[in-house]
Amino acid sequence: MGYAQLVIGPAGSGKSTYCSSLYHHCETLGRSINIVNLDPAAENFNYPVAMDIRGLISLDDVMEELGLGPNGGLMYCMEHLEENLDDWLTEELDNYLDDDYLVFDCPGQIELFSHVPVLRNFVEHLKRKNFNVCAVYLLDSQFITDVTKFISGCMASLSAMVQLELPHVNILSKMDLVTNKRDVENYLDPEPRLLLSELNERMAPRFKKLNKSLIELVDEYSMVSFIPLDLRKESSIRYVLAQIDNCIQYGEDTDVKIRDFDPEDDE
């Protein structure tokens, strides 16, 4: 059994910084993880790259040879990856043992995890290779400044959850850059009535029924919740990693050592 995190989220949400911090945190603990770059436009890394999509295809080459723009070129690269899952990816995965832990650093184009099937097929391939996979969705905490942006972030995360059909951990990144943490904390465990009231105040009266349905979706079904991540604090990284490990059942196959005891001592 292998283990994998699929790190997704909008551009600029801190995915590569998260991967780098996670790698150095695990290195300190003496725990082995492997970071995989799935962004064909990436250039600089603050972590050792175990696998790199640029070994298969790069955005610069596609833009130059096909005359595509950055976004169209990236989508072409990801579709090319999809076409080579049985060849390139399978060959790369064969270099890792059954209990290895992979973290896939993905591009930030939101269509990749909202409606385009590339990442979903990528995930299905990992599952066929006996990997337990968890989606880690990062959202910039500075984006969550009012109720409308909060609901928008929830809907984007929910879209990814529905598309990928994976265990999901949603993270509010860049908490170290937030000046007033109370504004963000109000949305970690929000009161639905207050959310609805604030949403109705900000939107036209004709949207009241829609607002009520959105709040009910977020609250009653507990579909979306966020974990704050402050990369300055090892305890914050450790907590997030523990939540993800629990989702993919990492470590549950490890033999449990039970202390010998004398039954008479319990009497």
Q: 259 falls in which pLDDT band (50, 70, 90)?
A: very low
Q: 92 falls in which pLDDT band (50, 70, 90)?
A: very high
Q: Is the dihedral of CA 11, 153, 106, 85 positive or negative?
A: negative
pTM of the model: 0.89
Closest alpha carbon to 219 in 199, 246, 248: 199
Cα(119)–Cα(69) distance, rounded to whole angstroms?
A: 21
Question: How many percent of the chain have pLDDT more than 90?
Answer: 66
Q: 52 falls in which pLDDT band (50, 70, 90)?
A: very high
Lowest mean pLDDT among 35-44, 121-130, 217-226, 234-243: 217-226
Mean pLDDT of the chain: 88
Say which residues have a Cβ less than 8 Å from residue 208's Cβ, sequence separation at least 6: 200
156-184: average pLDDT: 88
Q: Which domains does the chain have, with CATH numbers?
A: 2-190+224-248 (3.40.50.300)
Lowest mean pLDDT among 34-48, 191-205, 242-256: 242-256
Amino acid 158: pLDDT:
87
Amino acid 262: pLDDT:
47
Amino acid 208: pLDDT:
94
Question: How many percent of the chain have pLDDT more than 70?
Answer: 93
Whether 145 contacts 198, CB under 8 Å: no
Amino acid 223: pLDDT:
67
Q: Exposed (0-12), middle (13-18) or buried (19+): which is 77, by Cβ within 10 Å?
A: buried
Q: Is the pLDDT of residue 263 over 90?
A: no
